[in-house]
Amino acid sequence: MSDDSRPSPTGVPTAAVIPAAGRGVRLGPGAPKALRALGGTPMLIHAVRAMAASRAVSLVVVVAPPDGAAEVKSLLDAHALPGAPSGGRGSTDFLVVPGGYSRQESVKLGLDALPPEYEIVLVHDAARPLVPVDTVDAVIEAVREGAPAVVPALPLADTVKEVEPADTPGEAEPVVATPDRSRLRAVQTPQGFDRATLIRAHETVTDNVTDDASMVEQLGLPVVVVPGHAEAFKVTRPLDLVLAEAVLARRRMTDGF
């Protein structure tokens, strides 16, 4: 994307909410996932930097582990957040609030802390620390163009089967259907929203969901997909840490030359 097409810092006030309150059970024992180090820096700090790197984002709300808000505040203070890149960037403010028992509840607590002037809201998983700024900007741009909800997504590499889930893990599971892969997308974050729409979705939808855009779908409003990025993958299992370290090492090489 050329610099000219990037959302400007003076456009519609835009904030990012970063749910970071999960334990990271699938990553195995250790500190809460968002606080684990990648290339020596907590995953959450990478995610905050990725949002603050967009010239359009002027507030980042971090939703911390329920008992970890003070620790997260001092982490944000301790890590230099990105300076103005060439071309300049408005400064970014930060807020920290304690999270809840589910991702959905954590996002809601983050939205509750949002000052009234923000009209566009991104929701970004702390567990996707390496999303490139061009992906962030593409999502913001699509919301500015009028979509109430925007999701970055990628085509699937694997064929997907729908099964009748087994009662016992490891047991064979009967296949029910094979959806046409060309019509499927794997969705990422940041997802972008018209603020009023997202707040209404969180007030209305009571089912437990893992994706904010699906709540807007339940309101019957259009949700659009824009191209995601391979580096916006979610750090979920131990192998994802290996991939994240490799991406960081490659970036350091590229930046060094």
Residues that bind ligand CTP (CB under 6 A): 19-26, 33-34, 63, 99-103, 106, 125-127, 234, 236
Nearer to ligand CTP, 99 or 190 (CB): 99
Query: Choosing among ligand CTP, Mg ion, none, which partner's interface includes residue 257 (Cβ < 5 to 8 Å by kind)?
Result: none
Query: Choosing among Mg ion, ligand CTP, none, which partner's interface includes residue 214 (Cβ < 5 to 8 Å by kind)?
Result: none
- Token digits of residue 49: 């930097």
For the chain, where are the alpha helices, taking DSSP H only? Answer: 43-52, 69-78, 103-112, 133-144, 195-204, 212-218, 238-256
Nearer to Mg ion, 16 or 34 (CB): 34
**Buried/exposed 121-155: b ≥16 CB within 10 Å, e otherwise:** bbbbbbbbbbbbbebbbbbbbbbbeebbbbbbbbe
Report d(CA 249, CA 246) in Å as an integer. Answer: 5
Query: Choosing among ligand CTP, Mg ion, none, which partner's interface includes residue 6 (Cβ < 5 to 8 Å by kind)?
Result: none
* Tally of CA atoms within 13 A in the half-sphere of 231 that contains its CB: 18
Query: Choosing among Mg ion, ligand CTP, none, which partner's interface includes residue 26 (Cβ < 5 to 8 Å by kind)?
Result: ligand CTP
- State which of positions 12-41 bind Mg ion (CB under 5 A): 22
Query: Choosing among ligand CTP, Mg ion, none, which partner's interface includes residue 236 (Cβ < 5 to 8 Å by kind)?
Result: ligand CTP
- State which of positions 53-92 bind Mg ion (CB under 5 A): none
Asked if 60 and 48 touch (Cβ cutoff 8 Å), the reply is yes
Nearer to Mg ion, 22 or 32 (CB): 22
Least spacing, CB of residue 82 vs Mg ion, in Å: 28
Nearer to ligand CTP, 102 or 218 (CB): 102
| Segment (H or E) for 14 | strand 14-19
Distance of CA 189 to the CA centre of its chain: 4
Least spacing, CB of residue 240 vs ligand CTP, in Å: 10
Report d(CA 207, CA 218) in Å as an integer. Answer: 10
Nearer to ligand CTP, 9 or 35 (CB): 35
Question: Which residues contact Mg ion (rule: CB under 5 A)?
Answer: 22
